[in-house]
Structures are given as structure tokens and as C-alpha cells.
A and B are shown apart, each in its own frame.
Chain A
Amino acid sequence: MPARSDAARSDVARDADAALTALYSEHYRSLVRLAALLLDDVGLCEEVVQDAYIRVHGAWGRLQDRDKALAYLRQTVVNLARSTLRRRLVALKHAPKPMPDAASAEEGAYSLVERAAVIQALRELPRRQREAVVLRYYADMSEADAAAVMGCSVGSVKAYTSRGLSALSGKLEGLR
């Protein structure tokens, strides 16, 4: 049955390509912005989102419900953002001395975001609280969906959101 399986594989690949194009045109920008809110280095956000697209494309044949491709994509973005932060933390811990910050082209492009007080306040939140706030109030996800993406219970999402909102209120007091 090699011919049949080759044909099936080629159908899946065509389907994945078409779905990838559609997901890119509709959601790429919002996902990059989501990643920008989760990461403390906005230069990495496009890299993370592109990696998420590549992974979803590779796993397209294994997706059980392809209507949930966007949810899968979001979850991949959140997971990759976490991994990136964790790697950066480990690298910082083991760095012999702090490396001087070198401005990159991306950083120039995102300089406005870097300076935004709300971004700064968001970065000061613990990771879980930041994820809960971003998923609930920027990605407009329900508590259940946010809990699924974060890999925790709905109650935890409620708690993280509440604490994050309270912390942001204090930090953004002067902005309002």
C-alpha cells in the first residue's frame, strides 16, 4: 500500500499548507502581539511565533480536531514563550558576567512598545499572573480556555487573574 499512503501523505501536506496560509493571514499579527506581551524580549516574539507555526504544520496530520488549530497554535506560542524565558533565566544564572545590551534592528522597531508603561508593568508580574492576564484580557479567552492553555485549573486562572489585575492597578495608577 505504499502508493496509497503516499497519496494520503500528500493530501495531508496540501491540507497543512492551505491551513498554514489561512492561519498566517488571519492570526499571525495577533499571535506576535500575544508573544510580545508574554516575553520580556520582544525581539524573540516573532521567532517564537514562527516556530509555533512550523510545529503546528509538522503536527497537522496528528491534529484530532483541526477546527481547534488556532487554540493549538496559541498553546504552542505560550509554551514556547515559557521555554524561551526559562532558557534565558538559566543563561543569565550561568553567565560569567552580564553581557552588555546591544541594540538590534528588531528592538529599534519595537522601541515604542519597550517604553510603554503597561508593558513594563506587565513584565514585573510573576509569569503565571502575566499569562493569565494576557490570555484573559488580550487574547480574550474564557477562563476555561486560558486554564487549558496554561495547564492549570480554572480556579487557578481566576486567582492568577485577580492577583495580576490588582498588581497592575497599582502599577498603572498614574497612567489613568
Chain B
Amino acid sequence: MSALEPDELTRLLTEAVEPIRPSPEAYRQIRAGIARRRRWRIPAFTLGGMVMAALIGLAVVAIRPSPSSQVVEPAAPPVMPTTFSEPSRAATVPSLGGGSGHPSSGGGGSAPGSTTRVPTSPLPTRPTASASSQSVAPTSPQSSAPSNSTGPGSPQLPTPVAKPAAANDIDGDGQPDTVAPDGTNLRVRFSRDGQVARVALGSIITPLNSAVIDIDGDGFGELLVQTQAAGGTKSYALLRYASLDELAVLTLPSDLALGAGVRGNSALGFRCADKTLQISTGTSSDGTQFNVATTTLGFTPDGLAVQDTASSTVRLPADSSPFVVSCGALS
């Protein structure tokens, strides 16, 4: 077999395709194809652009995190005890007149003025709680050294099951918690884990006059307890769920107290409204016409902060008295 020479192969190939005659319509067909391509080009590009934009939009919608503030978390995440603790001051439970010498006539050997003794042991607290609130943890009654465990490393609060909290639900588990007096202490049994917290309030009115109201709407009910009743006025303490099985007595800004009633030319009252606490302080020269200063307190992680102040005048008993308690079923 002799090898095929390149020249010979070229000749054979050329002769093989020699009979092929292009169609006389070829040029017209090419022009028609170009016109067709040009005609469809803009609509095709437009459609393609729109499809691409739609796909990008869909991808963005699919990938973008939901704007909903609801965070999916376990119903009851594990809460670890903190290892951080620092000494704290004893808190003062506000009383009518700011504890400035009004006699206390509560039952059961209450001390003049009222203080909260905070048990020892470092415990988890509300992460940003400050010295403006005193933490009270469920410990043995013998524990008496003051402590306030706040600061870095404090664990998160349990996740509440509903906002605002259910009726009488302090620990945010959706179940009512039990509040009972125990001498000058307040005993709270948490339904979340059956733990009992004891809070020393100095004095407590018996039978117990208390209410659980989620004033700030955070899913944990605030506990309002009447501590004293004297001369037509009543004093109250406000407690907040600070961390797992722990309550903190909220202190008020200076010159303010949680109380209700009129005594002579001074009067007090408060109401819960729109995630705030409004305290009305009245002064009068004749005992009937009162100049009322209303301070609106907002709930912050650190406690209570003044948001607004307003003043007005009321004449008693003609006008509706602001010197009452208007927080849930509390009277």
C-alpha cells in the first residue's frame, strides 16, 4: 500500500466537492436570517434581562433574613449560674415620704423604713442589671450576706413563652407562680422549676395585697406588693424577675416613692400605662387643691429611668383623684 501524497489528497478532495453548487437563494437567506436575528434581538435581550432581574430578586428575597424580630429558640434554654459576683448595697424599699420618718405600722415586727437583705451566693442575673436593683435569689433562709451578681458573664434570662406574660406569670413560662408572705419576707415559688425565692421586704401587709403585671411587656411579670399602710396611705414595693429563679427589688429615682393616698397636704399615687410607670406626687396648701407632678418612668435593663415629667392641678374630691393605685387588680 503506497502512502497517499498530500497533493493527491488535495486533488481528490477538491474533485469530490466540485459538483456542489451553492443555492442561488443563499445570500437572500443569509440576509433574512440577519434581519430575523436583529428583529428578535432587542425583545430577547429585554426578556432575558427581566428574567435575570426576577431571578436575582427572588434570590435576594430567599436569602435575606426575615425582618421578624421573633427569634426561634428552645422553649427553655439551659441557664448556667454565673461565676461573677460583687458586693452590693442593701436596697431601700420606697415608702410614702421617702422613708423620711413616717412611722411604720405594718404587722409582724417590721422595722422603721424598710430594707431588703439580699442572700449570698453568686447567682445568675439579668445581664445588664445594675446597682439600681437588688437581686434576691432562692437560697436558704440562713443566707444573709448582701450580694449583687451583675456584670459580664451573666447568663441570659430564660426565653419567655409569651409577650406580655400570662396572668401571674413571673418567670415567663406561661404558668402562674405562687406568691405568699412569710413574716417580713416574701416567698415566691416559680413554676418553671419549683424553686422558691425569698425576698426580705422589711414589712408586708397581711393578708397579702399583691399583683403580677407585665408592665414592660417583656414576657416576665413584675410583682407589686403592698408593704405598709398607715394614716390613709399605702406603700408598695416593685419586684422584677432578674434572672433564673431570682427577683430584684426595683428602686426608684430619688424623691419618688411607690405609694397611694392623701395625708394632709401631701399625696401619692401611681399607675401602670403603656409599658411605663407613672407616679403622681401632689402637694397642697389647703388639702383640697393639689399641684400634681407626674413622672413617667420607663423600664430599662438597668432598672427604672425617668422618661417624662408633667404637672397639673386637681381639686379633691371634685376631680378624679390621681392619688390611687391603678395597676391591674392591685388596690
Chain A interface (Cβ within 8 Å of chain B)? Answer: 20-21, 24, 28-29, 32-33, 36-37, 42, 45-46, 50-51, 53-54, 57-58, 109-110, 112-113, 116, 118-119, 122, 133-134, 136-138, 140, 165-166, 168-170, 172-173, 175-176
Once A137-B6, A166-B3 are accepted as A-B contacts, the answer to whether A172 and B22 lie under 8 Å apart by CB is no
CB contact between A36 and one of B2, B4, B10, B20 (< 8 Å): that residue: B20
Query: What is the distance, in angstroms, from B43's C-beta to the closest C-beta of chain A?
Result: 15
Contact status B17-A175, CB under 8 Å = no
Q: Tell me the smallest distance from the CB of A53 to a CB of chain B, in Å.
A: 5
Whether the Cβ atoms of A118 and B6 lie closer than 8 Å is no
Q: Which residue of B lies closest to A57 (CB)?
A: B34
Task: Indicate if B195 sits at the interface (CB-CB under 8 A).
Answer: no
- Chain B interface mostly helix, strand, loop or mixed? helix
Q: Is B27 an interface residue (CB 8 A)?
A: yes
B8 lies within 8 A of chain A by Cβ: yes
Asked whether B81 is an interface residue with its Cβ less than 8 Å from the other chain, the reply is no
Closest residue of chain B to A169 (Cβ to Cβ) is B4
Q: Are B17 and A113 in contact (CB under 8 A)?
A: yes
Report whether A24 and B30 are in contact in the complex, using a CB–CB cutoff of 8 Å: yes
B9's nearest neighbour on chain A, judged by CB, is: A137
Find chain B residues with CB under 8 A from A57 CB.
Answer: 30, 34
Chain A residues positioned under 8 Å from B29 (CB to CB): 50
Distance of B40 from chain A, by nearest CB (Å): 11
Given contacts A46-B23, A172-B4, contact A165 B9 (CB under 8 A): yes
* A140 near B10: Cβ-Cβ < 8 Å: yes
B26 with A46: CB separation less than 8 A: yes
B30 cross-chain contacts in A, Cβ below 8 A? 20, 24, 50, 53-54, 57
Interface: B51 (CB within 8 A): no
A51 to B10, CA, bound (A): 26
- Provide the residues of chain A in CB contact with B8, threshold 8 Å: 176
29 residue pairs of the A-B complex, CB under 8 angstroms, read: A20-B30, A24-B26, A24-B30, A32-B22, A42-B20, A45-B20, A46-B23, A50-B29, A53-B33, A54-B37, A57-B30, A57-B34, A58-B37, A110-B20, A113-B16, A113-B17, A118-B12, A118-B15, A122-B16, A134-B13, A137-B6, A138-B17, A165-B3, A168-B9, A169-B1, A169-B3, A173-B1, A176-B4, A176-B8
Given contacts A32-B22, A50-B30, contact A37 B3 (CB under 8 A): no
Give Cα A28 to B21, complex, Å: 10
What chain B residues lie within 8 Å of A140 (beta carbons)? 10
Establish whether residues A165 and B33, one from each chain, have CB atoms under 8 Å apart when the complex forms.
no
B22 A110 Cβ-Cβ under 8 A: no
Q: At the interface, yes or no: B14 with Cβ under 8 Å from chain A?
A: yes
- Determine the chain A residues whose CB is within 8 A of the CB of B13 once the complex forms: 37, 118, 122, 134, 137-138
B65 on interface, CB distance cutoff 8 Å:
no
Determine how close the nearest CB of chain A comes to the CB of B242; give it in whole angstroms. Answer: 68
9 closest A-B pairs by CB: A33-B17, A169-B4, A54-B33, A112-B19, A138-B13, A116-B16, A118-B16, A118-B12, A137-B10
Q: Which residues 28-66 in B have Cβ within 8 Å of A in the complex?
A: 29-30, 33-34, 37, 41
Residue numbers in A under 8 Å from B16 (CB-CB)? 37, 113, 116, 118-119, 122
Instruction: Kindly state the separation between the CA atoms of A93 and B278 in the bound complex, as whole angstroms.
Output: 84
* Chain B residues in 8 Å Cβ range of A36: 17, 20
Q: Are B4 and A24 in contact (CB under 8 A)?
A: no
For B33, what are the chain A residues with a Cβ–Cβ distance below 8 Å?
Answer: 50-51, 53-54
Q: CA of A112 to CA of B15 in the docked complex: distance in angstroms? A: 11
With a CB–CB cut-off of 8 A, which chain A residues contact B17? 33, 36-37, 113, 119, 138
Cα of A175 to Cα of B16 in the assembled complex, Å: 12
